[in-house]
Amino acid sequence: VRVVAVSPDDEEVTYRFQKELALTQTLLLDPGGEIARAYGATRLGGWLPTKRLSYLIGQDGKVVAVHHAELAIEGHLTLADEG
């Protein structure tokens, strides 16, 4: 399983976040929101912060499972472990 996170923040903010939390997964920058729109993570056309979503995508490129939780991180971690 490869975990990839997507951030709407700029490079400096994303790098600081990755360093502070000692994250090892790949972080993709999405300041224009293209990835967020493609995966249904935007709110009110991008006027509000993006939704916190996790997708489990199979090797065939199809979405196998989705987890949506704004505050409880555990479900996101569980979904990553399932992959």
CB 36 within 8 A of CB 8: yes
Across the chain, what does the average pLDDT equal?
76
Q: Which residue has the higher pLDDT, 62 or 79?
A: 62
What's the rounded mean pLDDT across residues 35-48?
77
The DSSP annotation for 40-57 comes to: T--BGGGTBPPP-EEEEE
Nearest-CA neighbor of 46 among 55, 54, 38? 38
